[in-house]
Amino acid sequence: MTNSVKPSPDLAGESVPVDVMGTARAFMESRVLLTALELDVFTRLGGGGTAAEVAASGRTDPGATARLLNALVALGLLVKEGSSFSPTPVAARFLVRGARDDSVDALLHQSSLWETWSGLTEAVRTGDPTPRREAAARGDDWTVPFIAAMHRRAAQRAPLLVEAAGVEGARRLLDVGGGSGAYSIAFAQASPALSAEIVDLPAVLPIAERHIADAGLVGRIATRAGDLRSDDFGTGFDLALLSSICHMLSGDENRDLLSRVFAALVPDGRVVISDFLLAEDRASPPQAALFSINMLVGTPSGDCYTESEYAGWLRKVGFADIVRRDLPGPASLMIGTKCR
Phi and psi for 119 in degrees, rounded to 5? -95, 15
Catalytic residue list contains 247: yes
Neighbour count for residue 141 (Cβ, 10 Å) = 11
127 vs 133: CA distance, rounded Å: 18
Q: How far apart are the first and last CA of the chain?
A: 70
User: Of the residues 109, 151, 211, 247, which is catalytic?
Assistant: 247
Pairing verdict, β 320-326 and 305-306: unpaired
- Over the chain, what HEC string results? CCCCCCCCCCCCCCCCCHHHHHHHHHHHHHHHHHHHHHCCHHHHHCCCEEHHHHHHHHCCCHHHHHHHHHHHHHCCCEEEECCEEEECHHHHHHCCCCCCCCCHHHHHHHHHHHHHHCCHHHHHHHCCCCCCCCHHHCCHHHHHHHHHHHHHHHHHHHHHHHHHHCCCCCCEEEEECCCCCHHHHHHHHHCCCCEEEEEECCCCHHHHHHHHHHCCCCCCEEEEECCCCCCCCCCCEEEEEEECCHHHCCHHHHHHHHHHHHHHEEEEEEEEEEEEEECCCCCCCHHHHHHHHHHHHHCCCCCCEEHHHHHHHHHHHCCEEEEEEECCCCEEEEEEECCC
The residues annotated as belonging to the active site are 247
